[in-house]
Amino acid sequence: MAGMTCYKPGERSRLIYAIREYRGRKDERKGFGWRDFRDLIVRARIQLGGPIVLALWKQWMFEVEGFRIARPAVPPLERLVVAVAPAVTTTDSANFTAFTIADRSYPLEQMYGDRRPRGYVLHAEQDRHTPTAAMRRAAALYHEHQADCVVIEANNGGDYLPALLAEVDPTVPCRVVHATRGKRARAAPVAMLYEQSRISHAGQPRTFAVLEEQMTTYVGASEAEEKSPDLLDSCVWALTDLFLDASGTAAPGRASDGRLAGRG
């Protein structure tokens, strides 16, 4: 059986599937071929009455070996950041301010000669905060995890947040990032890191439940059709800083040391 969970704005989700029965006949395929998957997508498009946009993250990415690990299994870190995706407003119906903590490191045991660095998402949370409270929380997470830098998205009028962070705690270094492309375009390279099995989530699965739900349901529709994925935004900024933005390595921060000692 092959299936796909489909979402259409304003409607309930649907499971659209196809079944292939293997009868043991000569030259009969045991599984689905590319034409079968093509026909499944065509059928879904007909039933939904519009084009199909596939989610960037797939559930299998979270089920590969080594994706979920315990915090003590994280190797000595090279760079750790706290990324903040701030809400535009602070009303009861506003989006959340989201925080993701991630680090880049080299695995102690390299698989198949792969010497590329890996990413480890250590924590993800979201809540409604005033700007001052959001910067206080960012500073607290910076110190709690002994991070190198706080990465702040400054779009939508958030350019004042770095100055506010400096008022809250002048010891916290930060980088300011601006979105010059749409969310899906920014997220696609990060999703590719997951597809390459180069990202792990380290900690209790419930810590990342909301983040992973946003990943597997986000298709890049307009904000009028799709709720802004706040945790996904902050995760994308964190991993972009660690892997995809060459200027990120120039941010101020303390040298790598034994900061993982005692982390449980």
CATH number of the domain to which 152 belongs: 3.30.420.240
pLDDT of residue 225: 53
Give the range of the structural domain holding residue 95, as residue numbers without chain letter: 59-250
Euclidean distance between CA atoms 176 and 123, whole angstroms: 20
Q: How confident is the model at residue 40 (pLDDT cuts 50, 70, 90)?
A: confident
Share of the chain above pLDDT 90, in %: 47
pLDDT of residue 72: 92
Q: What is the pLDDT of residues 95-113, one digit of tens each?
A: 889 999 999 998 766 655 6
**How far, in whole angstroms, is CA 257 from its chain's centroid?**
26
Mean local confidence (pLDDT), 214-222: 78
pLDDT of residue 251: 43
Q: Does residue 53 belong to any structural domain of this protein?
A: no
Q: Does residue 264 belong to any structural domain of this protein?
A: no
Q: Does residue 259 belong to any structural domain of this protein?
A: no
Q: Does residue 256 belong to any structural domain of this protein?
A: no
75 & 147 share domain:
yes
pTM above 0.95, yes or no: no
28 & 111 share domain:
no
Mean local confidence (pLDDT), 26-49: 76
Mean local confidence (pLDDT), 16-42: 77
106 & 228 share domain:
yes
Mean local confidence (pLDDT), 237-251: 76
Share of the chain above pLDDT 70, in %: 81
Q: Does residue 258 belong to any structural domain of this protein?
A: no
Comparing CA positions, the residue from 118, 107, 104 lying closest to residue 194 is 118
147 & 31 share domain:
no
Euclidean distance between CA atoms 129 and 135, whole angstroms: 9
| Backbone dihedral region for residue 25 (phi beyond 0: left; psi -120 to 50: alpha; all else: beta) | beta
pLDDT of residue 158: 66
